[in-house]
């Protein structure tokens, strides 16, 4: 389809091209149209809200006003980000090397933002998501049943199991005729990076940097593939919501879910953060690059100043070892800021206090972030 791609970087010429990621993307803004730059969600003439364009990021706007209900505090210090291990992953994504990164303390949501929470935001502000304004969003084929397939007009070239569905948005996850009933505690989906940013601003929070997200996901446990250990199904138990079966044709739902699951469906990690692997990809604040981290700052890093896509982390219910095993702590991929899908959501962070030079941990050595002894 025009403007749609597979969501993965073009591999270098001397490598075997990896299979495309399971995340479609679309440059959906009309060509030749200019959108005025805005900071935060600004009121539209009709009283609704429109999403902002993202300026170059030279400094992270620190936020410490939002409620800390259902958030956990991650202590400041250093942690090992990335991996040097062969995890069967995607080195060209920039998963390595493992490196010590210093972070100031921060709060992070225990759970992905739910459909219920997002509905409160929409009711309070009149916000209109980008999927609603564009009139469509991406849905995976196995989420469309019966009459819902009538709204699937166009498959994505190269990954034909993804469909453009007219009338699909956060409140109608599979298009007209679909509802939120029974899924209010599932993560909100069909939200773009701009939509997630607008929600975070309204809540007095912000989107996490990639380093903050990965630190929180690891839960204080160093050098593991997953937050819980080295095996996906450690001790014979499911620890996250991913695809079981023959991808992309049949999901056996052996883990109990053939789509998204409630945000608290699995045991949280040692920090008390739930469902960081699988279920839905989560937006971060960082612009995508597969090599910026090789020379960039490792003291509270915020990623490149500019880019064409944002980093997403954690994998989703569509990830499978045969195709896109990015449900690992070090794994990462990207999507354009206006893209929205049925398997992408977000969670928020906020700073512990006002951000001043004195609150920084400095550029020297910092103590490792401790692993909690109990939750």
Residues 213-239: tens digit of each pLDDT = 999 999 999 889 999 999 898 878 899
What totals of helices (H) and strands (E) does the chain contain, helices first? Answer: 4, 18
> Whose CA is closest to 115, among 16, 214, 263?
263
Distance of CA 306 to the CA centre of its chain: 18
Q: Residue range 179-185: average pLDDT?
A: 96
Question: What is the rounded CA–CA span in Å between residue 83 and residue 224?
Answer: 9
Q: Is the pLDDT of residue 84 over 60?
A: yes
Q: Is the pTM of this model over 0.75?
A: yes
What residues have CB less than 8 Å from 33, skipping those under 6 apart? Answer: none
Domains and CATH numbers, the chain: 78-127+185-354 (3.90.1580.10)
pLDDT at 160: 87
**Picking from 126-140, 141-155, 298-312, which range would have the lowest pLDDT averaged per residue?**
141-155
**What pLDDT, on a 0 to 100 scale, did the predictor assign at position 11?**
25
Instruction: Render 272-330 in DSSP notation, one character per residue.
Output: S----SBSSEEEEEEEP-SSGGGTS--BS----S--SSEEEES--TT--TTT----STT
Of 316, 320, 328, 337, the C-alpha closest to 260 is: 316
CA distance 136 to 152: 10
User: Tens digits of per-residue pLDDT, 140-155?
Assistant: 998 998 888 888 878 8
Q: Is the pLDDT of residue 66 over 90?
A: yes
């Amino acid at each position: 389809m025009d403007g749609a791609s597979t969501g993965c970087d073009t591999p270098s010429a001397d490598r075997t091209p990896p299979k495309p990621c399971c995340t479609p993307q679309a440059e959906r803004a009309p060509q030749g149209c200019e959108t005025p730059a805005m900071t935060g969600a600004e009121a539209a003439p009709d009283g609704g809200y429109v999403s902002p364009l993202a300026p170059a990021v030279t400094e992270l706007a620190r936020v410490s006003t939002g409620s800390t209900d259902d958030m956990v505090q991650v202590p400041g210090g250093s942690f090992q980000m990335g991996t040097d291990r062969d995890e069967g992953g995607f080195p060209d994504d920039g998963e390595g090397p493992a490196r010590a990164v210093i972070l100031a303390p921060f709060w992070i949501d225990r759970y992905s933002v739910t459909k219920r929470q997002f509905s409160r935001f929409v009711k309070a502000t009149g916000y209109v998501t980008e999927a609603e304004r564009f009139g469509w969003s991406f849905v995976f084929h196995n989420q469309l049943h019966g009459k819902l397939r009538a709204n699937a007009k166009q498959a994505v070239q190269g990954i034909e199991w993804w469909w453009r569905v007219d009338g699909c948005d956060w409140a109608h996850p599979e298009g007209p005729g679909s509802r939120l009933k029974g899924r209010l505690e599932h993560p909100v989906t069909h939200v773009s990076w701009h939509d997630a940013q607008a929600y975070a601003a309204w809540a007095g929070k912000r989107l996490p940097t990639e380093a903050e997200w990965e630190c929180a996901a690891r839960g204080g446990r160093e050098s593991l593939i997953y937050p819980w250990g080295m095996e996906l199904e450690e001790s014979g138990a499911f620890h996250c919501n991913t695809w079981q079966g023959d991808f992309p044709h049949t999901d056996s739902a052996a883990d109990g879910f053939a789509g998204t699951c409630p945000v608290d469906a699995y045991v949280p990690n040692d920090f008390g953060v739930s469902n960081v692997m699988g279920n839905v990809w989560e937006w971060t604040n960082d612009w995508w690059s597969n090599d910026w981290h090789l020379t960039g700052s490792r003291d509270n890093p915020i990623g490149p100043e500019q880019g064409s896509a944002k980093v997403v982390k954690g994998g989703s219910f569509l990830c499978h070892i045969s195709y896109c095993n990015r449900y690992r702590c070090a794994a990462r991929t990207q999507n354009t800021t206006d893209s929205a899908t049925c398997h992408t959501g977000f969670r928020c962070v906020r700073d512990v206090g006002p951000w001043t030079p004195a609150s920084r941990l400095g550029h020297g050595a910092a103590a490792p972030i401790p692993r909690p002894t109990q939750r």
